[in-house]
Amino acid sequence: MGRGPGPRRLGLLQPPLLFLFGRQQQQASNAPSPPPTAVDARSCSASLPLRVARPRPPPTLTPRTGRPAPTARAQPSHCGNLPIASRQQMRVKKRSKHRKAVKFYATCFGFREPYKVLVDGTFVHHLITHRLLPADDALRTLLSASRTPALFTSKCVLAELRRLGKPYAESFDAAQLLATTRCEHDKVVSAVNCFISLIGAKNPEHFFVATQDADLREKLREIPGVPVIYGLKNSLFIEQPSVQQRNFAQIDEEKRLNMDISEYKKLVKAASEGKTDASEKGCDGEQHERPIGSLVKNELGVADKSKFKRNRAKGPNPLSCKKKKPKPQSAIQNQIKH
């Protein structure tokens, strides 16, 4: 006699008695039926299986209070997801990374609020599909800004979205609400070429570029001072500064600290002109025979000696010293005799 499958299981919360009763009813249905006889209704109802309650174990008592211990709740299975504590740690780390990136561009390249974000069609489409709206608030939290950033696009991006047709109709309508920058293109070009021409060699307008295009992001990494924003599912990220950008910032900082050759030549020329003027006026020889370093300092407005004198210790405080005891007269007379 074959045994068919039991009722469909609905998870771990279904009691095992239902499986047992289902199998009994199925076995009864598969068995050959006896000849029909007149049976009382009471006997039929008595023959049906009854659902018996499972006996519960006695509650465990705590040793101190004697009260029943609280039942432990079943921990929910995360199904591959991370627990809440680790998720919060990841969010904190992500925010700190984004703040460090924004601080790097603000310190080394002079980015100031309100920030300007240059948006292309792929990024607008990503915002709409993942419902990261309103976009200015999402970018404000990403940049940790106190003021709402200004969003810009170009006419070449709008033309590209219009060409894509109905799938990007909503993205085109949303992009039309953004401010458009002036791109000097008589004919419409691709969004990649348009953005590279707008950024230029050193990004003088201090744009954050928001895009999902991998080729454009790779090209922007080589240009110094261009932070890139991209989306990943329902969250936004800022790319960390690339090696080229860090090297450029380091070289620029060294240039600021050290004197350029052209500046040094100008200072030497100014010092030599000061020598000739001093010799014509008949000044002392010691004044115009000073080294170039001191002349350069004077040209830059640096004093030779500091004006503020350091307070040096003059002597012990008389109030803190112990007073001398007077010598007895006998000792004085002995000193006089000797």
Q: What are phi and psi of 176, to 5 degrees?
A: -70, -20
Task: Give the start-end residues of each E strand in the chain.
Answer: 116-119, 150-154, 179-181, 207-210, 228-232, 235-238
- Give the 3-state secondary structure of residue 267: helix
CB 224 within 8 A of CB 249: yes
pLDDT of the residue at 291: 56
CATH label of the domain that carries residue 205: 3.40.50.1010
In a domain, 183, yes or no: yes
Helix 121-129 and helix 155-164, axial crossing angle in degrees, nearest 10: 60
Rounded to whole angstroms, the Cα distance separating 177 from 199 reads 22
HSE (side-chain half, CA atoms, 13 Å) at 210: 30
In a domain, 31, yes or no: no
In a domain, 5, yes or no: no
How many CB atoms lie under 10 A from the CB of residue 204? 9
pLDDT tens digits for range 283-298: 544 444 555 555 555 5
What is the pLDDT of the chain when averaged over all its residues?
A: 75
pLDDT tens digits for range 215-261: 999 999 999 999 999 999 899 999 999 898 899 888 888 877 777 78
Q: Order of strands, edge to edge, in the sheet holding 228-232? A: 179-181, 150-154, 116-119, 207-210, 228-232, 235-238
In a domain, 37, yes or no: no
In a domain, 163, yes or no: yes
Rounded to whole angstroms, the Cα distance separating 111 from 223 reads 15
As for how many domains the chain has, the answer is 1
In a domain, 250, yes or no: no
Domain that holds residue 136: 85-241
pLDDT averages per 10-residue partition of the chain, 338 residues: 45 36 46 50 44 55 53 46 79 92 94 95 94 91 94 94 93 94 89 94 94 95 94 93 90 80 82 66 50 53 58 78 76 67
Entry pTM: 0.56
In a domain, 286, yes or no: no
Q: Which tokens in the block code for residue 38?
A: 């007149």
In a domain, 136, yes or no: yes
